Structure 1
Amino acid sequence: MFVLIWATLLFSVRVSDAETGSSVWGKQSCPLTDYCITLVEGEITAEAGLCVVIPCSFTVPEDIKVLHIVWFKCESTKQRCGHGDMIFHSKTFSDKVQSEFKGRVSLLESDVSQKNCSIIVNDLKESDSGTYQLRVNTLPSSGSFSKFSQRATVSVQGMNHPAV
């Protein structure tokens, strides 16, 4: 089921670059040479009551170990999200995750070594509309650091079809 959702979303968010003819699906942020996070570019729209996938991937140098992935939903006016904005943590710190997101957010690929940071948010509510940001926490040989990604925007609209 996840593969079907991922494939459908991947094909629906791919856009064509008219000047080069190349296909791209996201905006890449590379704060360091071999450290990149790629998120979908533009707004993702979804319908209340259903689910949404926020496609995401990352690369890190081979000598850097990924400790965990943290997703946040925060105000677009904030430059960085804080602990109070946390909606998912790959190490299950459920007491810090916003209560309205508990049990509704998961990684599409639970093995962070696969460099897939895509999440699925189930049972969408209109209040889930907003700005989402990823933080990848790593441990290089010289110490610990974390990097924030660019942001993805999700717009959740009311149900178009009445429940049967």
Structure 2
Amino acid sequence: MDYFTEQSVKSAQKHLTTVEVQAQQYRMKHLEKFQQTILEEIENFEKDSKALKQMEKEFTNFWSQQTQVLSVYHSNEQKRIHCLKASFEKNVSHCTNFEGKIFTSEMHVMKEDMKNVQELLLKKMHEEDLLSVRRGLESLFMAGSGPF
């Protein structure tokens, strides 16, 4: 029985060793797959990280360019507004004052002309009235003065 027990123990040890080796191989195989997956994901993450850094760099460059373009545009607009304002003040603003003076002067001339026309009409009316009175008096005196 010692032999049988010894053989049984050896056989059991052999089976246990085989089971242990198979379990260890199974674990190692899955750990290696897990490790491979982790390495692939780290590699993908690094690629994505590089792509994001490149995008960030491109976006920063784009934003800087747009900021410069907008700054130039703003500066040009300010110059344009200043130029238009100066031109308006120089050409249009003084024109309105000048036009106002011309209008006032013309109104004064027109008032004088109207006054002269009014005086002329009044004089003509007086002359007509005087002529009418004269005719009336002449007809009165002529009708009443018979032959002398």
More strand by share: 1
More helix by share: 2
Instruction: Give the structure-2-normalised TM-score.
Output: 0.13
Which entry has the higher C-alpha Rg, 1 or 2? 2
Q: Higher RCO, 1 or 2 (CA under 8 Å, sep at least 6)?
A: 1
